[in-house]
Structure 1
């Protein structure tokens, strides 16, 4: 995964009509939708008003962002990206936190690493603000 997207899915663009990414299962709303692909287990995207806003790598994903994957240590993330902004985790106690690109904007994609209480990466998101910082997806 990279800041521009994953496979044929691109941040800030519609899901391609011939894409392997599709809605699966119940959706939380008509405006905010999630799509996934069997080619990328553990990954999903948030689509708002038919535009891809965020792509997330979860626990079942073996993909990486710039060489960092699920289970990487906070120290490894901070060593590679020392300028990431730190925020307290909404549901977990420290050392859990969010490490987010300080330059992420509604018009400029950024990355966000969710660090768990064990000090390891639980989720990796790339996308546009404010959706990049959504804690509960489309819920």
Structure 2
């Protein structure tokens, strides 16, 4: 599983300098070039590849609505490793709550819930009633083959509650403590749940445990 690409300010500056020296032969002004560079730098990057989503070859993936795309950073204003957003739509709604770990959800993202431990968002789970997808286009109902296409090398483990071929597929970097992805594959070899977060919460089988 590759880490997301980050375009450094120095690299952007170098590109803008080169464009300025070209005399604008392509008809673009320096302002337009700078604006385009900023858009490319801000574009969501895929989890399974190092390419920005807007650079994927057509047909490579079914790109999701970016407002409903989850990545290693999180989903919308719910960010992995950050405090629960103040004044946002993510709140406790009758799920598990407690001083150490609680679950939050938002009416804007049905079927999705977050785990918050000691005030920090540690995991986001995309459930079976959700249309949220990873930036690669993999979502609930995607086949195991589709997952393997984008996420080759994920560690396979037997599912805790279902017989084989149900399984967990976990990113190899999960043990490092960095944000990672974990799939739950059902007996029909399709994605049932997608978890994005950090260990140990990433490996929890039931909410906060």
Structure 2: where are the runs of 5+ without partners? 1-69
Aligned 1:14-93 pairs, distance under 5 A? 14-65=83-134, 66-93=136-163
Query: How big is the shift at 1:70?
Result: 0.3
Q: Distance in 1 between matches of 2:106 and 2:93?
A: 9
Deviation for aligned residue 1:28: 4.5
Bigger Cα displacement from structure 2, 106-115 vs 122-131: 106-115
The CA RMSD measured in Å over matched residues stands at 1.2
Bigger relative contact order, structure 1 or 2 (CA pairs below 8 A, ≥6 apart): 1
Q: Structure 2-normalised TM-score?
A: 0.64
Structure with higher helix content: 2
1:106 shift after superposition: 6.0
Aligned residues of 2:95 and 2:103 also touching (Cα < 8 A): no
Indicate the SS of the match to 1:41. Answer: coil
Other-structure match for 1:122? 192
Task: Name which of structure 1's ranges 26-35 and 1-10 shifts more when overlaid on structure 2.
Answer: 26-35
Q: Who is 2:170 aligned against?
A: 100
Give the SS at the match of 2:174.
coil
Q: Secondary structure at the match of 1:118?
A: coil
Matched, 1:12 2:76: no
Provide Cα deviations, 1:92-115, integer angstroms capped at 9, x if missing partner.
Answer: 000000001010146310000100
Equivalent pair of 2:92/2:103 in contact (CA under 8 Å)? yes
Larger-gyration structure (1/2):
2
CA distance in 1, matches of 2:116, 2:173: 21
Larger mean CA deviation between 21-30 and 36-45 belongs to 21-30
- After the TM superposition, which parts of structure 1 deviate over 4 Å for at least 4 consecutive aligned residues? none
Residue of 109, 124, 128 corresponding to 2:179 = 109
- Number of equivalent positions: 139
Quickly say closer, same or farther: Cα 1:91–1:30, change in 2 above 3 A.
Answer: same
Q: Structure 1: give runs of 5+ residues left out of the alignment.
A: none
CA distance in 1, matches of 2:171, 2:96: 28
